[in-house]
Structure 1
Amino acid sequence: MPAVADTILTGARVRTLDPDRPSATAVAVKDGRILAVGDGSDVRDWRGAGTEIVDLAGATLTPGLVDGHSHPSLGMEMATGLDLSRCRDLEELRIALAGAARAAGPGDWVVAHGLDHNAFGGRPIHHDLIDPALAGVPAFIRLYDGHSALASGPALAAAGITGPQAFDQRAHVVCCPDGHPTGHLVEFAAMSLMDHVLPRESEAVRSERLLGLLRDMAASGLTGAHVMDLQDPGVLDLLAGIEESGELPVRLRIAPWCMPGTDEEGLDHLIEMQGTHGRRWRVGGVKFFMDGTVEGGTAWLEHPDCHGQGTEAFWPDPAAYTRAVHHLARAGVRTATHAIGDAAVRHVLDTVELLDGPALRSLHRIEHIETAPDSQIPRFARLGVAASMQPTHLAYTRADHRDEWSKRVGEERAGRAWRCRDLRDAGAVLVLGSDWPIAHYDPREVLATARLRRLPGQPETEPVTVGQALTGLMALEGYTSHSARSVGEQDVAGRIASGYRADLTAFAVDPVTAPADELGEAPVTLTMTGGAVVHRA
């Protein structure tokens, strides 16, 4: 007789993603692991006096969903203040900023986020476009891509930014021909020049906000996230502090950044950090950037964009990036590299191909992959490099290619945007995620968009590169089994089988077969992380 379960989930349609037993109706859980998988008739064998029975009443139970690319802590900072994501043009932007400026008290700033590049209508980004609406109140606006910002004239003065500056990474303070800054700050090093003057929350407020965010993520069906940043080491203390008095509702696997200029001592420090952990968080992997964004002119492209930009890597010396990745790989450290442009994708694959043997090559992922030619697609599976993509980023483009992203890259490259299906059909591991706060963390929205090639609930919107749509099963695998494979956790996560983590998500509809628009707003019946129910509808 098997051991007595702590919890039994029954009355479900179980999609196990386990080829040895694809379906079931009941799952037993003990000590945070799956004890057994079976049918209703097995429940009496698993049940004891203290066993909790949860009747899912026909819901579909899947392995716990894991966001393959998220920024919970950094995202809280990036998503602070006024949400400008609904501003479609300069008039709407100015109205929103004027309202915030009127509400500001003495010494206050207007801090905002989520602004779409398309709101500028093709005009060069300049603080003169917003300063009159702000009436002297300093403002700092993060654009939706997370790689650029607009600072008002008074904000530039407060930070002491008066002209161009040099950086180790590919970043710049955009200036007019006369040398005066426009307020457009491109990439992290340039944006960080504002850090010392921007308002900052207390640690207590940050902790409360982070825990609230993770609870909301769990309510959307997430049981984990691959966190693609660790700029502030204090975040680990924040997580440890939360675990002193409770549990994280979502597992976090954290990959610190490795930026240009990192020497061998810095690389060894990243190696030493690996495995640092709490109960539900762990440092695992290192995050690189090979380029920036198309809209910011910093994606690394094989041929220039329509403004003559995009021909330079984020690492001024791409060979230094290759040496850094090899140093980490030889120590067994997994890497994830942000690569949006076709040249960036190629260079990362070239870097991996130079490693000696499949064991070292299989440690790596490429994030985003917004445009890639036919020649690069088969290399992912051949080299064992996982592809990590965010289907909801399609919301910033249009099928008619009249958006800023498409105009920048041109018709040919826009025609091969976000090639999710081609990568899957070529045999690649394909991880799906949100890149929150760049797009919403709700996995239902991502799963639906992966199938529709547009956001759910918007049938009037023409799909973008519709031939790249995934099946419902492929999309689910991108949040479960493929997510686990991409970080080497395929033996403990990503399927419902005995001995695996009891990280589980229950939907009111079948996420594989339900119409995608319906899935986008379907209730999440239950979320379980480590055998504990962290959300129940």
Structure 2
Amino acid sequence: MSADLILMADRIHTMSGDRTPTAIATTGGVITAIGDRDDVRAWRGPRTEVIDLGAATITPGLVDGHFHPVMGIGLTRGVDLSSVRTLAGLKEALRAADVAPGGWLEGWGLDPNAFEGAPITHAPLVDAVGPEVPVFLLLFDAHSALVSPKALTMAGIDGPRPFASGASVVCDAGRVPTGHLLELEALDLVRALLPDDAPAERRARLSDLMRRMAACGLTAANAMDFEDDSLDLFRALEDDGDLPIRWRFAPFVMPGAGRDGLDAVVAQQSLSGRRWRVEGAKFMIDGTIDGGTAWLDEPDTHGESTACFWPDPRDYASAAGFLAARGVPLVTHAIGDAGIRFVLDTYESLSSPASALPHGASRVPHGASRVPHGASRVPHRVEHLETMPSELIGRFAALDVTASMQPTHCTGYTRADHTDNWSTRLGKRRADRAFRARDLRDRGARLALGSDWPIAPFDPRAILAAARLRRPAGEPGTAPVLPEQALTARMALEGYTTEAAAAAGLSGESGRLLPGHRADLTVFGLDPLTAAPDEFAGSPVLLTVVDGRIAHRSG
């Protein structure tokens, strides 16, 4: 059978063995031959598309380990505040915003470091636009927001509120809300008042997002939510044609979900399309260090970050056990040391007697049965892993748990001298054991890399560079953050290819360029294994191929 597509390039990194071929053929969505340019004549037929890419480099298709596509198109509305660095800059950006009379002023991506050590309150919002404009600004972590007095009044928020999760309405000493809202339940009090985007606009924004992802070399991503209109959006887009990106979704499981909520997540595991499927469940064991809602062994320097996101951590363990017993792979956001430890203890307990469980975790809902972790082909995962003592590092490999990290969370929001908000909250000892990507790899852990978009930009070229440099790409004057945690070029590329495939239980069909594997490929103008990281961050993406079809072609 002749090939559908043949690509030739000076370097093809198969990520399997030392040989570097120069030609690859795909047929029917799979790789059918790998060899050299001299072999191409035997593979081609009258309808074969043949492209010689010259000095380019072909790699397995890149996979983002952590993404929020549907949530993200809703969160990235209004003014992009991600470049704001000072209070003066924040006020200037808000004054320049184009807001309809009586409408909301929305913004996203605000870094708390912009407050320059001052309390995060709505005072700058009032200074910028006055007291009568309803303002909703999402902070960069998407776990907190800053809203104006008018927005608080419209939402009926006039003091503290109880929540099922670790959310809170921040109040001053007089119990008056400051405008700072922490975690999703608190944010939703105001977010529920924001105008909805029209379905056609949401489809257009999601479609544009995927085109931009493909243009950066991404062929797949792990979506850490499947809420709201996700099903409708993806079905509608696939009705119009093939998606340029493959997706794996893990629906949220929130505190208080109950048996009905867990059964619904199990039922969702049967949902799929041509290039998307639901496979997993997403938990959060804590919040963020910047917001004071992480779960640490000891309080941060503000006396915060001491509690689990779940009011009773045993309920998390019970819900995790219920889903794991039904073959659902688990994904848990865990940022603080206490949270990471509890998640690992819970995962370890899933095939253990009840006596070995974390305290109270044997309270599995009626009807559940304990099964070995291997019941799912997909390993359980822990996301983010921001501060972690050494005794936890080796447990990832020992438990066959995937470590999923986002290098630009470190390089974009922390500083080598620990003067940033994240580091000052933790203190030097805990900031010195942060984002330990190299330690995890050296101890044999499976390490998947990604962006956490829209929390950080998704361009994998910049993320691969940051993983090696421990500073932002293109900023050679910036001191690296804990440079001993830098990954090698190959380790970084593996985090987007072979490690990503293993994290999805797909090592036998993806992540390497081998006959019989998926025909998902990324073509760079520069070689990610030999080019200087700063230079590679600007490498052109010449071609992105998904399922043997061109999803992006440069120029």
TM-score normalised by structure 2 residue count: 0.94
Alignment of 1:163-182 (within 5 A): 163-182=159-178
Cα distance in 2, alignment partners of residues 319 and 10 from structure 1: 55
The answer as to whether partners of 1:358 and 1:383 remain within 8 angstroms in 2 is no
8 Å contact 1:329–1:363 — kept in the other structure? Answer: no
Segment drifting more, 4-13 vs 282-291: 4-13
Query: Which of 281, 296, 305 is equivalent to 2:300?
Result: 305
CA distance in 1, matches of 2:387, 2:488: 21
Partner in structure 2 of residue 98 of structure 1: 95
Establish whether residue 8 from structure 1 lines up as the match of residue 6 from structure 2.
yes
Cα distance in 2 for residues equivalent to 1:454 and 1:430: 19
Q: Given the alignment, which residue of 318, 326, 345 partners 2:321?
A: 326
Distance 2:284 2:9 in 1: 46
Matched, 1:79 2:79: no
CA shift at 1:319, angstroms?
1.0
Q: Which residue of 1 aligns with 2:221?
A: 225
Instruction: Write the distance in 1 (CA, Å) between the matches of 2:137 and 2:165.
Output: 22
Do the aligned partners of 1:484 and 1:490 also contact (CA within 8 Å) in 2?
Answer: yes
- Distance in 2, matches of 1:302 and 1:134, equals 41
Give yes or no for the alignment of 1:424 onto 2:419: no
Does 57-66 or 162-171 show the bigger shift? 162-171
| Matched residue, 2:539 | 522
- Partners of 1:515 and 1:462 in 2: how far apart? 17
**1:241 is matched with which residue?**
236
Secondary structure of residue in 1 paired with 2:45: coil
One-letter identity of the residue aligned with 2:135: A
Instruction: Please give the alpha-carbon distance, in whole angstroms, between the structure 2 residues aligned to 1:409 and 1:132.
Output: 31
Q: Structure 2: how far apart are the matches of 1:273 and 1:266?
A: 11
Alpha-carbon separation, structure 1, partners of 2:10 and 2:284: 42
- Alignment coverage as a number of residue pairs: 531
Matched-pair contact (CA < 8 Å) for 1:78–1:142: yes
Deviation at 1:122, TM superposition (A): 1.6
User: Structure 1 residue 376 and structure 2 residue 392: aligned?
Assistant: yes
| Residue 489 of structure 1: how far off its partner (Å) | 1.2
RMSD: 1.2
DSSP 3-state at the match of 2:96: helix
Q: Deviations over 1:492-533 (max 9, x none)?
A: 111111111111001111101110000111101110011110
Q: Report what 2:134 is aligned to.
A: 138
Matches of 2:162 and 2:487 in 1, distance apart? 43
Residue 41 of structure 1: how far off its partner (Å): 2.0
- After superposition, what is the alpha-carbon deviation per residue over 1:191-232, rounded to whole angstroms, capped at 9, x for unaligned? 011133112210000000110010000000000110011221
- Distance (Å, rounded) in 1 between the aligned partners of 2:74 and 2:437: 30
Q: Are the structure 2 counterparts of residues 387 and 107 from structure 1 closer, same or farther at C-alpha, using a change threshold of 3 Å?
A: same
Deviation at 1:358, TM superposition (A): 5.1
Asked if 1 retains the 8 angstrom alpha-carbon contact of 2:9 and 2:58, the reply is no
Match of 2:42 in 1: 45
The structural deviation recorded for 1:237 is 1.0
Residue 360 of structure 1: CA displacement?
5.1
| CA distance 1:11–1:196, shift in 2 (3 Å) | closer
Deviation at 1:11, TM superposition (A): 2.9
Q: Identify which of 284, 289, 305 aligns with 1:294.
A: 289
| Higher mean displacement: 132-141 or 435-444 | 132-141
Q: Which residue of 2 aligns with 1:468?
A: 485
Gaps of 5+ in 1: none
* Distance in 1 between residues matched to 2:99 and 2:445, nearest whole Å: 50
Deviation at 1:74, TM superposition (A): 0.8
Counterpart of 2:209, as a letter, is L
Alignment partner for residue 496 of structure 2, among 462, 479, 500? 479
Identical counterparts, % of pairs: 52
Shift of 1:169: 0.8
Alpha-carbon distance, 1:104 to partner: 2.1
Residue 239 of structure 2 corresponds to residue 255 of structure 1: no
| Aligned residues of 1:333 and 1:363 also touching (Cα < 8 A) | no
Could you say what secondary structure the match of 2:404 adopts? strand
Deviations 1:432-458 (A, max 9, x none): 000011110000010000000011100
Alignment of 1:149-188 (within 5 A): 149-188=145-184
Q: Which residue type is aligned with residue 454 of structure 2?
A: P
